[in-house]
Amino acid sequence: MSPVTPLRPPARVLAVAGSDSGGGAGIQADLATIGAWGGYGMTAVTAVTAQNTQGVQAVHVLPADVVTAQLEAVGADIGVDAVTIGMLGSVPVMHAVADWLEAARPPRVVLDPVMVASSGDRLTDAAGEDAEAAWARLLSLADLVTPNVPELAALTGRTLDEEDDPARALAAAVAAARGLVAADGPVGRGGTVLVKGGHLPADAEGCLTDVLVGPQGETAVTAPRVGTRATHGTGCTLSSALAVLAAGGRSWEEALRAARPWLTRALRGADGLGVGDRSRPTWHGPLDWRVPTDDDGRRA
């Protein structure tokens, strides 16, 4: 019997990110998501974190040359259709990744400018002018940048947490993103910014809005706010889904319209997981599987 050959080879997606021992964010979320969407996942680990649903207990950032070695090993042999970049951890690692992006020029680059975990713990020691220069390099090499609102505030130097009205808060965030994609802004190559609404108040219908802000225009995608504390890893999950969908040929808008309802299901599925009791992870797997839990989502 001849071996089974897929109709189309899977998209090869490289995740450049930190390891989350708790399994909810970082490399673990990236690989689960890439697999869930039928892609072939590869990794360049930038840092090892000891992390669970309570917070981050330890961070060890890898030496920059070890990160470069992983990037070169994968790029030279297997090939890369899309890259999703998350936690980088230090200025030397940021420059190592930027150097590789400049040399390898992978076709689609999604940059999630991770700075702080959902628990509030810092995930990078990069600060000051050195960090600003490294972010500017990375932004200029990205096709899609996916900041949450605090990250957008940090990248643009704007204050984005003073507005309580949902529409005005979103408008302020979108205005900040416009500055990033402007002709003289730091996001180069006609890149796009996805403003993520997870840190903004829900609107009167109980919905959150994400907005793609590109040089040619803007697209808003709205979804119900899920009343759960299980939002750990949503950012990594969304970025990886967008990378694998774009690698399969979709535009950023098509990718976001496909990924967003799936993310809603991943958030809804999380409460039945019974994993930890604080900042629980989203659930990347099939939804027809449950463990018995009590009303607080703890294993019964």
Ligand X SMILES: Nc1ncnc2c1ncn2[C@@H]1O[C@H](COP(=O)(O)OP(=O)(O)OP(=O)(O)O)[C@@H](O)[C@H]1O
**For residues 26, 32, 37 and 39, what is the CA-based torsion angle, rounded to 10 degrees?**
80
Strand order in the sheet with 56-61: 56-61, 40-51, 12-20, 82-85, 109-111, 144-145, 192-195, 207-214, 217-224
Bridge partner residues of 209 (DSSP): 222
Contact range with ligand X by CB under 6 A, out of 40-48, 87-95, 193-201, 269-277: 193-201
* DSSP label of 281: B
Complex with ligand HMH: residue 91 or 181, whichever CB lies closer: 91
For ligand X, the binding residues in 14-33 under the rule CB under 6 A are 25
| Candidate list 41, 196, 214, 274, residue with the active-site label | 196
- List the one residue from 32, 48, 213, 267 that touches ligand X (CB under 6 A): 267
Contact range with ligand X by CB under 6 A, out of 62-70, 156-164, 165-173, 219-227: 219-227
Phi, psi of 57 (to 5 degrees): -95, -30
**Which one, of 5, 99, 3, 118, lies nearest residue 44 by Cα?**
99
What CA–CA distance (Å, rounded) separates 63 from 99?
15
- Residue 198 Cβ vs ligand X, minimum distance, rounded to whole Å: 2
Complex with ligand X: residue 74 or 160, whichever CB lies closer: 160
Complex with ligand X: residue 105 or 168, whichever CB lies closer: 168
Q: Does residue 234 touch ligand X according to CB under 6 A?
A: yes
Contact range with ligand X by CB under 6 A, out of 11-19, 89-97, 128-136, 224-232: 224-232
For 295, counting Cβ atoms within 10 Å of its Cβ (0-12 exposed, 13-18 middle, 19+ buried), the class is exposed
Residue 20 touches which member of ligand X, ligand HMH, none, C-beta under 5-8 Å by kind: ligand HMH
Complex with ligand X: residue 40 or 119, whichever CB lies closer: 119
Q: Does residue 256 touch ligand HMH according to CB under 6 A?
A: no
Contact range with ligand HMH by CB under 6 A, out of 112-120, 135-143, 171-179, 260-268: 112-120
Q: Does residue 180 touch ligand HMH according to CB under 6 A?
A: no
Residue 95 corresponds to which tokens in the numbers above?
């420059």
- List the one residue from 11, 20, 43, 84 that touches ligand HMH (CB under 6 A): 20
Residue whose entry in the numeric block shows the structure tokens 């060890």: 60
Contacts of 248 (CB under 8 A, 6+ apart): 11, 37, 38, 39
Q: Does residue 236 touch ligand X according to CB under 6 A?
A: yes
- Residue 49 Cβ vs ligand HMH, minimum distance, rounded to whole Å: 5
Q: Is 231 a known active-site residue?
A: yes
Q: Is 120 a known active-site residue?
A: no
**Which one, of 52, 32, 48, 159, lies nearest residue 93 by Cα?**
48
What CA–CA distance (Å, rounded) separates 293 from 299?
4
- List the one residue from 86, 92, 197, 214 that touches ligand HMH (CB under 6 A): 86
Beta strands in the chain (DSSP E): 12-20, 40-51, 56-61, 82-85, 109-111, 144-145, 192-195, 207-214, 217-224
Name the site residues for ligand HMH (rule: CB under 6 A): 17-18, 20, 25-26, 49, 51, 86-87, 114, 117-118, 123, 233, 235-236
So which residues are the catalytic ones?
A: 196, 231, 233-236
